[in-house]
Amino acid sequence: MILTTLLIAFIVMPFIELSLLLKIHEHVGTMYTLSIVIMTGIIGAFLAKAQGIMIISRIQREVAQGRMPAPYLIDGVMILIAGILLITPGLITDTVGFALLIQPIRYSIRMYMRKIIEDKLRNGNMNVTTFKF
């Protein structure tokens, strides 16, 4: 499962992104296509950095008050993933990256992940894998 996902992420996805960029290039030209890619990268990196700083601040406040910052830690991981997707050239990755910067979408993903984990725990289907270095 993980190998298939990685195969899609690193081999198939760039081909899809490239074909989409070539289609856009056909309609709007080289300069606009490059501008779109560069601007989404710059804007996305700025937004991801700003939200990352806010999440770090929230995590520090929660820890200082003696509370577990689990939701904010998960948000932080999603913002990190968003930043990586946004600096990767392509419109599909940019769309997913920008979506991960929207708090209600992150909340929905977090609740979906929680439901899956709770269901697996309830049914006894949770497997834990450890790695030794």
* Structural domain contains residue 32: yes
pLDDT value of residue 88: 85
* Structural domain contains residue 130: no
Assign 25 a pLDDT band (cuts: 50, 70, 90): very high
pLDDT value of residue 21: 92
The mean predicted confidence, pLDDT, of the chain is: 89
* Structural domain contains residue 53: yes
Residue span of the structural domain in which 95 resides? 2-123
Cβ atoms of residues 80 and 61 within 8 Å = no
Q: What is the number of structural domains in the chain?
A: 1
* pLDDT tens-digit map of 79-133: 999 999 998 888 899 999 999 999 999 999 999 988 988 888 888 777 767 777 6
* Structural domain contains residue 112: yes
